[in-house]
Every structure is written in C-alpha cells, then in structure tokens.
Amino acid sequence: MAALVAARDGERMPMRSNGQDWLVSWHPVDDPQEGRSNGAAGVCVTAAGGLVLISHDGEHWGFPAGRPEGTETIEETLRREMLEEACVTVTGSRLLGCSRSECVRGRELGLVLVRSYWRAEVRLDDWAPRFEIRHRRVVPVSEAKKYVRDPDLAATRISFRALDEAADAFSP
C-alpha cells in the first residue's frame, strides 16, 4: 500500500459527501479563494507539545472545526468552535491556508465552500462535551499522522497538509 501524502497546492481531489461529488483542494495563505465560508479548523497544540484531536465515534480522529455563526470572523469562529468541540481555549493562532470544495454533481452543483485551517496554541480545559463531539484525545505531535484519519482520502490528505504547514509549531 502506498504511503498517504499531504495534498499539494491546488491539487483537485475527488470527494463524495452526502450524496454529492466534490473537488477539494488545498491553497496556501498567499492564494486566497473565493466562495462561501465553511468556517475554521484548528490544528490545536498544547504547551507540552501535544496535538488535540476529536472524534464523533472514537474511531475516526481529526481537528475540531465548525461553521461561522452570525457575523463572526473566521478567527472568532475558530475560537468558539475549539471551545465547543474540544474544550480548549485558544491562546494564540496563525492562519495556515484553506481548503476549497466545489460541488461538481448533486443538489449544490456549483457551490464553492472555503474552510480556513489554523495552527492554534491552546490550553486544555476540563472535558465537558456539550454538542456532537463525544471523544477528545491528546497525542504526541510526532505520531499525529497515525491518528488523523477521515473515511475520505481527500479529507485526510488535506489534514496531513495542515499538519505539515503547522510543523513549525511542533519544533522544540
């Protein structure tokens, strides 16, 4: 089996979600994308160098993320979603890039969604899940790619790219 690699800039990868076909791509900070904001995702790093991951089912692990509410900025969305989904407080953040998802078949044909990805330095708060997320774990950054997996290959490759972009946050 070939090693899973991170998404390359602008590489359009097929993805199927909710009965629709999408093309998903990664774009660096200096290549902003037009489209409807699909919120923010956080590569959450603790002061001790751990990576905070969340899961709906205890099997598939990924970054906390969510959509904006009202007139929130993407950074405000990041801070709220990290608190709600991972029970962490963001103490610092840096934009890493974005994913662009274009619906190419289905009821939302032509829709373009853009999700920002951030390196978020966080403080762990007490685990008190209130919404859809049932599990949280903190893993060593050196082992992050062993845990970050989505049932969809394109989504995993986007996550791997975000991890690579955030790598400077993991340096001693």
CB 5: neighbour CB atoms within 10 A? 11
In a domain, 95, yes or no: yes
Tokens 């991890």, residue? 163
Domain count along the chain:
1
CA 124 to each of CA 46, 87, 88, 121, 134: distance values in angstroms, whole numbers, following the listed order = 7, 7, 5, 10, 16
In a domain, 113, yes or no: yes
Beta bridge partners, 37, equal 114
pTM score: 0.93
In a domain, 114, yes or no: yes
Tell me the pLDDT tens digit for each residue of 52-74.
Answer: 999 998 988 999 999 999 999 99
In a domain, 20, yes or no: yes
Q: Return the CATH number at 84.
A: 3.90.79.10
Note down pLDDT in tens along the chain; length 172 residues.
Answer: 356 899 999 999 999 999 999 999 999 999 999 999 999 999 999 999 899 999 998 988 999 999 999 999 999 999 999 999 999 999 999 999 999 999 999 999 999 999 999 999 999 999 998 888 999 999 998 898 999 988 788 999 999 999 999 986 455 4
In a domain, 128, yes or no: yes
Among 146, 142, 141, residue whose Cα is nearest residue 50: 141
In a domain, 2, yes or no: no
In a domain, 155, yes or no: yes
Q: What is the residue range of 94's domain? A: 13-167
pLDDT of residue 1: 39
pLDDT of residue 167: 85
In a domain, 4, yes or no: no
